[in-house]
Amino acid sequence: MKRSATVAACACAALTLSAFGSLPLAAPAAADPRLTEKQATATGSGGAVSTVDADASAAALSVLRKGGNAVDAAVAAAATLGVTEPYSAGIGGGGYFVHYDAESGEVSTLDGRETAPAALSQQDFIDPATGERYPFSPELVTSGVAVGVPGTAATWQRALDEWGTLSLKKALAPAIRTADRGFVVDETFREQTLDNKERFAAFDSSAELFLPGGDAPEVGSTFKNHDLAATYRQLANKGVDEFYTGDLAEEISSTVQAPPIAEDTDLPVPVGEMTPEDLADYEVLEQEPTQVGYRGLEVFGMAPSSSGGTTVGEALGILDGFDPSGMSPADAQHHYLEASALAYADRGRYVGDPAFVDVPTAALTDPVFAAERACEIDPDSAAAKPVAPGDVTDYDGQCPSSTSGWEEKEDTENVSTTHLTTADRWGNVVSYTLTIEQTGGSGITVPGRGFLLNNELTDFTTAEYDPADPNRVEPGKRPRSSMAPTIVLKDGEPMLALGSPGGSTIITTTLQTLINRVDLGMSLPEAIAAPRASQRNTAAVTAEPEYLDTYADDLESLGHTLTPSGDSFTPNAEIGAVAAIEIGPDGTLTAAAEPRRRGGGSAMVLEGER
């Protein structure tokens, strides 16, 4: 049920802004409309937001300040991230939206994942000139064939219809202002542009927008996107049907089928199959969240097509039989890594789009199944990787004999995703992860529209065809995702909401942050700042430098192999970028974002009565 926006606005009139430190928040995006400072932690009681970007957080907070609720604020922040973080998210992509409704006490989810066009087949990933599969990079990542039907715009409208108080027009207003007046280019934006310079230069529309004068925008300059502002205005005035059935749908499908390729590029750019009918047929799915108990808490996540909820949930279920708080730091990390590997084995074997695959979600989140999987953890020795999946058809909590192994087969690390978390003064909470896949998505900007198209179909298993693989390519299917927006309840009330970008490391980042906070006695800011490692049922654990410095010797003595994080898809050796909000027993809201990763995040709050 929607709250009265008029009543909400009157009730919020006396609220003021607050944050730790000296960040001036008295009038967000008003005194200086181009925010450059970020605060990683803030506390208040009248509403809160955590994102990677100060402009996006300010947009959400302005909505909360005027009486909007957490859903309204989430859409405003997401639309603004489409302006300021265009290489991570936007209406050319998709995502997953998790919502706690204070009035009903229910957690609901929206699956806005991209879908494969109806005409897509495994053959589309084969180079007709050679008969061989297209190499993952640069061919597939920079192509029309990798573009899935976007779900983000439809997700915003569905969320507002279900739980919001604002119209889409009002929710988009802050993002339109930001796109028109511009934002200040930071080092991350320039670096990401330069990293994609060859790909953007391959398309006339992308080069015109992101490489003015042939180079990335300078740090400190103002980047404006009038094309995106105009596109947002069109959606605001005419509704999202314009995106899925109007002229914009024709333009998107035409761009996928015939990308605006520059004459001087050497990139092959395989074309895609998307049609206007694919866009017209797109549906956002509302489904039951995953739910597991952990240390007396209830942890809710995103069900398949995402693997986030099942894999985080299973790993927590495995760890629930142990006591990391009573272990040495290295032993606690050992159990975290082993539980993660076991859960990833089951993820790879069983999880795909449930419209195409019989996903055993109930078994994967069953504490009895988790207890049986926990038998595989040797407290004194790391198992050889990859470990075998469990048997979801026959389990009783007793230690079984091993089955055959299953290796992960995904091609990419969905690292340019972004996450945001919002909470309002009435107790509603949103955890929302959205993406266009890799940094810069497909590299293709829809001409004159100001947004990049995703390359999400690279999340399918494209390297080989296996009819037993739940993530194999099929028309109309949603590729398996690792996005893991999460809401935790204590005694039926929200305690914590969080999520992260980072491809398949999203799951381990979310899991590790939960363990840090719940088991290891860290505050939320400490849990987010702590060094990270990711074990995804692979021979080596990927770890940040500080993690290696702290744990490598002890973990290697237990048989773990560790390798530094950082490659072309994970710059600066960072894993994840958490945005979270904790709700204290007295109603205090602690918004917390990354202090350093991805240039640091932005936490903002309102003071006032809940």
Q: Which residues are catalytic?
A: 417
Strands (DSSP E) contained in 478-583 are 486-490, 493-499, 533-534, 541-543, 562-564, 579-583
How is residue 503 written in tokens? 């491809």
State the burial class of residue 218 (Cβ atoms within 10 Å of its Cβ: 0-12, 13-18, 19+). exposed
Phi and psi torsions of 91, nearest 5°: -70, -5
Residue 204 neighbours by CB under 8 Å, 6+ apart: 260, 261, 262, 447
- Collapsing DSSP to helix, strand or coil, 176 comes out as helix
Dist. CA 25–CA 424, nearest whole Å: 17
Phi and psi torsions of 513, nearest 5°: -65, -40
How is residue 253 written in tokens? 């499908």
Contact 446, 257 (CB under 8 A): no
DSSP 63-129: HHHTT--HHHHHHHHHHHHHHHSTTT-STTSEEEEEEEETTTTEEEEEEE--B--TT--GGGGB-TT
Dist. CA 253–CA 285, nearest whole Å: 22
Torsion angle in degrees (nearest 10) through CA of 352, 353, 354, 355: -150
Return the amino acid letter for 141.
V
How is residue 334 written in tokens? 């050992």
Dist. CA 206–CA 378, nearest whole Å: 52
Dist. CA 179–CA 419, nearest whole Å: 20
Strands (DSSP E) contained in 164-236 are 183-184, 222-223
- What is each CA distance from 225 to 232, 281, 451, in whole angstroms? 11, 29, 9
Return the amino acid letter for 284.
V
- Collapsing DSSP to helix, strand or coil, 237 comes out as helix
For the chain, helix, strand, coil in percent to 5 are 35, 20, 45
